[in-house]
Structure 1
Amino acid sequence: MSSEKTSSVLRNRNFQYLWAGQTVSAIGDQMSGLALPVLAVTMLQASEWQIGMMNAAGMSMFLLIGLPAGAWVDRWMKRRVMILADVVRMLVVLSVPLAWWAGILNMTFIIVGAAVISAANVFFDVAYQSVLPIMLPKEQMAKANSALETTKQTSMLVGPAVIGFLLTIVKAPILMLADAISFLVSLVSVSRIKMDESAIAKQDRGKLRDEITEGVKFVTKHPIIGRITASTATFNFFTSGVHTLVPILVLRNMDVSPALYGLVFTAAAGAGLAGALSAAKIGEWIGQGNTVIAALVLSAVAVFGFPIAAMIGDASALPIVILSESVIAFTGLVYNITQVSARQALCPEHLLGRMNASIRFFVWGVMPISALLAGAFATWFGMVPVVFVAAVGALLSSWFIFASPLRGLKTIVPKAE
């Protein structure tokens, strides 16, 4: 039965287009994800504060426009929103190598570009999370999300190591051209999707504020989605600060080469792939509710590896960083596949955009604040105390879901007969 459901998902032509486009886009994101920190730290000599600003700008729009974006996406054609967002992201990423070639690239340019991409990401992500439940039956959500994450993690297995090697022979801005191309592939793939959706007529739209409030209330009052959101937001608040400082820890303090820096993410991708492939089985084994709780707790425990590595402070601590990133990747994929599939199925279709936007507002909106605080506090107090406090906070984040109906829950969403 399970294999039949999986194959039916994979045979869906619309899902195939979405799947292909997002796989290529994930590869492109790796290019920028690895090239940008190397560019900032090694070429532009960015400080802790500037790295914090860059990371904050990259997530800022989920905090600033996340809530209205959800209401807007519920009103608009979601596929069209995704295409326009890909166009914006492609053009902004393309501007980085062009600015470098023209000799005008600096951290201000990078930070502003990150903010613009963040705005496009808000609309794409909300529409992307909302289009899947329209495209597929609810009982196929877990299989579809698992397939998307599996291919994403598979592409990341070899990608970071290859990119890390390329960064030793090619300048970082040049590699960002691949990300621009990946957005082009994504928009072409999304444009091929044919699905039954229509924009809400203006006369049928409610007040924007009322629609936003409806989405926020649904998330905060739901006994399962609300608790998951609270734990995820708290966890992200503390761990985003840690990951803001990781490039400085590895590339500067440890004096690790870009090639070895790429291997950190290769190892994590392998663990993430294992998590994506095993998420459904783990949920069946210990129950979906217990899976969500256990995955978050283990992720939080792994964060303690970063203050240990920071205390050692040289390349000998790199295996600790790799182990921590790998555990976080494995448990993070198990956690996300389980809880994202649950909330997609638990939410009424007409609230999907606002539900996803409200959750993103809380769980990603805290990340730019965290990045700024991490950059500032690391400048004032040093890296070790900052990442240690963050690890303690990440562990405490599990309280919300531990003290919730999730504990002991075998199945969050009953399977369709």
Structure 2
Amino acid sequence: MGEGGEGGGEILRLRPFAYFWGASSLRAVGGSMATVAIQVVIVTILEATPSQISILSALSVVPYLFLGLVVGALMDRWRRQRTLVLTSIGRAFVFIVLAVLLLTGTLDFWTLAAVTLALGVLTLFADSAAQPLLPRIAPRSSLVQANARLGQSETVAGTAGPALGGILLNLVGPAVLFAIEAMISAIAALLQSRIVVYEPPSSPRPPGRHVGHEIAEGMRYTYGHRTLRPLAISIHVWFLANSIVATVLAVYVLRELGLPSWAFGIALAAGGIGGFAGALVAPRVGARLGAGHAILLGRSLVVIPWLTLAIAPLTAASGTAPVLVVVALTQLLWGLGMGIEDANDISYRQSVAPDDIQGRMNATIRTINRVIFFVGALLTGILMVQLGYQTTLGVAAGIFAVAALIVAFSPLRRVQHAI
């Protein structure tokens, strides 16, 4: 038995997965760098108003809300590897255009809005192709390790990418940084084009059957399945809680507790360390406890940090050091729980669903998640005003607990990974 209980040894020795992982890692790093650069452009170059910033933020989610289910259905008919290559080429083109607009001084708000929307659509297609493609690349017994490796690189990218992007912004400016991101996307496309994978042709569509029928079939399968149904519902509840903490954390820690921005950055980095550690141990946890218990463990762990922040007697007068220690430790545990559950959650979904419905199953869950996150973020504003920051965090902790209880009291708790 190899690491994490899978039977084929280290998954990176499998060449198709190594190309897949390499491209994913490059895009994660490049995406983190580009996010920092775009934020700087919005604030310092375009001097966007708060309403304009809100519009740009919403545009990154809009493709999922309106196209998520359709694209998921298409991914069960299109060649997923080719889709990945085309999306990487598309990203390279968009970033080159963005760099040229900056260099020529012709970038305005609405042009950046169009760029943001285009990147959102490309990301949607890439995400919708990547998840159902992975089970065709990696053996099902190796999916936990494969997803753990992807999780590790994404965590490193999320932690180091913004810092690297900030350094490059100071050294070369946003236009050159976007040109570098275009090169990264082009290299990712090259790696993805070298993935050797068999993708069987889709069966002919019966007369009168359109994409709406296929979307409905994907939803019926997902919410009619004995174990995928509680898994999907648990994820949706988790996303509601996550939308609350993602909205309230920064304003609570920076404004209410008075934590300096540099210390807040350190606390968030601790979350990245926890996520890396969680992804590192996820295969072993899944092999030892089983998929269901590993998911339950991850879901349960994420309750603790937010409950701690909800009841911790912290104020701005507590001082930077105590606040930093508490927030960093909560973020460390938060990341650890997510790292454990993500690899086991995604791997179980990929292993249990038939190949010809993978795209629709994943798109169904992902799209509902985005809708819930969007609504939850709006709801959080009301909760913060009516209940205060700490009570709002306590509400989120309670919702996270409900997500764990759904797993605990369902058949999902007893499922095992494919061997």
TM-score, structure 1 normalization:
0.83
Q: Which residue of 1 aligns with 2:12?
A: 10
Any gaps of 5 or more consecutive residues in structure 1?
none
Residues 298-322 of structure 1, C-alpha deviation per residue, up to 9 Å, x if partnerless? 2233235777799649993555544
* Contact 2:263–2:324 (8 Å) recurs in 1: no
Residue 183 of structure 1, aligned match among 173, 182, 185: 185
Q: Name the CA distance, whole Å, in 2 between partners of 1:62 and 1:26.
A: 19
CA apart distance, 1:408: 9.1
> What secondary structure does 1:195 align onto?
coil
Change (3 A) 1:409 1:120: closer
Q: Which residue of 2 aligns with 1:101?
A: 103
Q: Count the aligned residue pairs.
A: 412
AA aligned opposite 1:334: I
CA apart distance, 1:243: 2.7
Residue 304 of structure 2, aligned match among 301, 304, 322: 301
Q: Name the CA distance, whole Å, in 1 between partners of 2:98 and 2:382.
A: 29
CA apart distance, 1:145: 1.0
Residue 328 of structure 1, aligned match among 322, 325, 334: 334
CA apart distance, 1:30: 1.7
* Contact 2:274–2:339 (8 Å) recurs in 1: no
AA aligned opposite 1:364: R
Residue 343 of structure 2, aligned match among 330, 337, 348: 337
CA apart distance, 1:51: 4.4
Change (3 A) 1:86 1:373: farther
Q: Name the CA distance, whole Å, in 2 between partners of 1:335 and 1:278.
A: 10
Residue 365 of structure 1, aligned match among 357, 364, 371: 371
Q: Which moved more, 1:24-33 or 1:295-304?
A: 295-304
AA aligned opposite 1:295: G
* Contact 1:275–1:331 (8 Å) recurs in 2: yes
* 1:395 equivalent in alignment to 2:398: yes
* 1:271 equivalent in alignment to 2:274: yes
Q: Which residue of 1 aligns with 2:224?
A: 221
Residues 127-165 of structure 1, C-alpha deviation per residue, up to 9 Å, x if partnerless? 100111112221111121112222333445544444444
Q: Name the CA distance, whole Å, in 2 between partners of 1:173 and 1:250.
A: 33
Q: Name the CA distance, whole Å, in 2 between partners of 1:167 and 1:319.
A: 30
* Contact 1:39–1:173 (8 Å) recurs in 2: no
* Contact 2:290–2:416 (8 Å) recurs in 1: no
* Contact 2:279–2:343 (8 Å) recurs in 1: yes
Any gaps of 5 or more consecutive residues in structure 2?
none
Residue 31 of structure 1, aligned match among 30, 33, 36: 33
User: Kindly, what percent of the aligned residue pairs are identical?
Assistant: 25
Residues 337-376 of structure 1, C-alpha deviation per residue, up to 9 Å, x if partnerless? 01111111110111111111111111233333444555x6
* Contact 2:271–2:335 (8 Å) recurs in 1: yes
AA aligned opposite 2:276: L
AA aligned opposite 2:213: D
AA aligned opposite 2:305: A
Q: Name the CA distance, whole Å, in 2 between partners of 1:325 and 1:97.
A: 35
AA aligned opposite 2:88: D
